[in-house]
A and B are shown apart, each in its own frame.
Chain A
Amino acid sequence: MNTPVTCPGIEELRARIRRLESAAGRRRLGLPFGIKAIDQHLPGGGLALGALHEVAGGSNDTIHAAAAALFAAGIAARTKGKVLWCLTRPDLFAPALAQAGLMPGRVIYVEAGDEKSVLICFEEGLRHGGLGTVVAEVARLSLIASRRLQLAAESSGTIGIAIRRWRRPAEAADFGQPTASVTRWRVSVLPATPLPVPGVGRPRWLLELIRCRAGVSADFEVEACDAKGRLALPSELVHGPAAKDIGRRRAAS
């Protein structure tokens, strides 16, 4: 009887695949956000190291990606080592990054002229391995390009963050296209935490985890990065009964 299962060649291949997968699984460590509601949604208890993540702005912010840039800066601030930031448009304001905890001495900016050079620099940075985080502002990210970036990130253990930023709001439909990134986030601005006096309070974001490999998507309402790059839950939610399952409830609705 011909049983392919007992064929020694195939058995050996299967063993090799198991070994490869477990090796990849072992490296799946996470950078925790420090907020239980978010961390328990992410496999590994945080944002996976050695992986590609995508961040985009919501509504009008798809063009400027200001909140998305600060979100990325907050993540980069909590990693160790230098940060490479690949740009196409030089409108990023470094003092704002410093206020999100990313000190100017740590960030190296690359002003690559076009999308293609940005992707080349992005991959080169991810492959190097000596950097803490590599951030790139890209509009188009094809499946093949993202696969290359993901493999480069896996080989070095560096976090790669692709800030998706388009020229026109209509082009943002591109964000639905499949890519090889591990998580995909959308950061939209919300009215700031109200203050008892006139003025603007701590900014708030609606953080949508649209896609997460080996996890479920969810929405969170958070307060923006503090001076150390940490997010926080809005204070009226932390102790209330709603705080425990806010993520789950939003995900279900």
Chain B
Amino acid sequence: MVLTLDAAARRAGLRIGMPAAKAQALVPGLIMRDADPAADAKALDRLALWALQRYAPVAASDPPDGLVIDVTGAAHLHGEEDSMLKDMVNRLASSGLAARAAIAGSWGAAHAFARYGAQATLVITAGDSAKAILGLPIAALRLPKTMVEDLSVLGFTRIGELAAKPRAPLALRFGPELGRRLDQAMGRLSEPIDPVRPPDFNEVRRVFAEPIGAPETLARYTGKLTDKLCEALEAKGLGARRLDLLFHRVDNRIEAIRIGTARPVRDGARLTRLLCDKIATIDPGFGIELMRLAATLAEPLAPKQMVSSLTEEPEADISHLIDTLANRIGEQRLYRCAAVESDMPERSVQKIAAVAPDTGETWSGLWPRPARLLERPEPIETLAVLPDHPPVSFTWRGIRRRVTCADGPERVFAEWWKHDAELIAVRDYFQVEDEAGERFWIFRAGDGEDAATGSQRWFLHGIFG
């Protein structure tokens, strides 16, 4: 029997569930593989581990073909929720896996939208998801296959029709499973995710006989767990790069904190501070009965001799500050700029990690560069003599400025090895000053003579101080 198929097979008219012999008869030369559910489950677990290390502290496989990730409080570290999903799908696509993803208010709803939503990536806010799910087919509810078929015999096709019916007759006919799945999809019933854990995981845990809830208590036990974990890491010669602190609530929900560090760290006080910064985001509900602290990413950290020099003053260590800021606003938004060999101004700057080693490279500073570079050049209207004179006057954002003095042109050739369109494109940059002394960086697309080199229109690209 055909269990699954790819897009090409689907186009050829094959369907899931048809006998293998029939499929072979329909499409000669069909490539078939024996199903290996155990290997599939293992691969899915590996994928869940990847998601755990990369995206969020609570991730698990959702057999047979899905991953479930709790992104609460983790999405802002990857930009917005939407860009995180796109990043996830693109990364999977680059390793040859076609994936669809959705974020919704509950596991059930996200499961349904990922499989039956209109787009490959879909973000539905928690408030809307109970309403939006009503339009999806019943198969999205994670019910046994026979139950879906029975329901369609009774004339139910959409979740909305099912939700509008009284519960009691349905429960009598189909058992409690139907109501439970419906409630889970609507977010009325919580559904804990049991996060995946690799075998040699650095994890410490603490069970509480009486549930705890006060932030001070949480902070105290966080400190104790961190010390315990640091001891365990020290025994293995590791340092933590990413820590996940999970709080299991008495009502069977998991709240999580994730922190990252720029370099491997084994300093208990420092890690405790990073974790305690985020305790305010935890909602303890009726109490917390179990805390688990795990080093999701750990790297070797060997003891290092502190270099002591009588002549040089040591450079202050700022990795602590970088960790604090990165955990607050996201790692990508903390960066240094590095010089790139490119004449195109917008390509001459590259963002690198804040703790990357300093190479001492800088831009060759022969021509002055503006302090502010507009995100995209803005068109201006000019009065200029072609081909190689700066404008006499120009109008930018509705204000006409007369040019008193100018420097240029600085001819910038486009990078022909990047696009065909840039083969002969040229920009002529001028630094101009107006009567008030304001200095601007303007350029003409094209060399002023040959129309093939550019549109010959003028743009303002930057503002000098």
Contacts and interface: CB of A to CB of B under 8 A. Distances in A.
Interface of A: 59-61, 64-71, 73, 81-82, 84, 90-99, 103-113, 117, 120-121, 124-125, 128-131, 187, 189-192, 195, 198-201, 203-205, 224, 227
Interface of B: 315-318, 320-322, 324-325, 328-329, 333-339, 345, 348-349, 354, 358-363, 365, 368-375, 404-407, 431-433, 435-439, 462-465
Nearest to B405: A200
Contacts of B371: 66-67, 69-70, 73, 92-93, 96-97
A227 B336 contact: no
B465 A192 contact: no
Contacts of B315: 81
A59 B370 contact: no
Chain B contact residues: over half helix, strand or loop, or mixed? mixed
A200 B334 contact: no
Contact of B465 (A70, A104, A201): A70
A59 B368 CA distance: 23
Given A189-B438, A198-B405, A111 B333 contact: yes
A125 to B, nearest CB: 7
Contact of B316 (A81, A93, A96, A112): A81
Chain A contact residues: over half helix, strand or loop, or mixed? mixed
Contacts of A191: 404, 433, 435-437
B464 A203 contact: yes
Contacts of B405: 192, 195, 198-201
Contact of B438 (A61, A90, A92, A124): A61
Contacts of A125: 321, 325
B336 A103 contact: no
A104 B337 contact: yes
Contacts of A93: 345, 349, 369-373, 462
A192 B317 contact: no
Nearest to A200: B407
B465 A108 contact: no
A129 B318 CA distance: 9
Q: Which among B317, B363, B431 has the greatest number of chain A C-beta atoms within 10 A? A: B363
Given A92-B371, A93-B345, A124-B324, A129 B316 contact: yes
A82 B336 CA distance: 11
Contact of B317 (A90, A96, A105, A130): A130
Q: Which among A69, A104, A106 has the greatest number of chain B C-beta atoms within 10 A? A: A104
A189 B463 CA distance: 11
Contacts of A90: 375
A241 to B, nearest CB: 25
Given A191-B437, A192-B405, A99 B368 contact: yes
A110 B370 contact: no
A199 B363 contact: no
20 contacts: A66-B372, A71-B465, A73-B371, A81-B316, A91-B374, A92-B372, A93-B349, A95-B339, A95-B348, A103-B362, A105-B359, A106-B358, A107-B337, A128-B318, A130-B321, A189-B436, A191-B433, A191-B437, A200-B432, A204-B437
Contacts of A104: 336-339, 361-363
A93 B435 CA distance: 24
B321 A98 contact: no
A66 B375 CA distance: 15
A94 B338 CA distance: 8
Contacts of B406: 198-200
A185 to B, nearest CB: 13
Contact of B463 (A66, A81, A98): A66
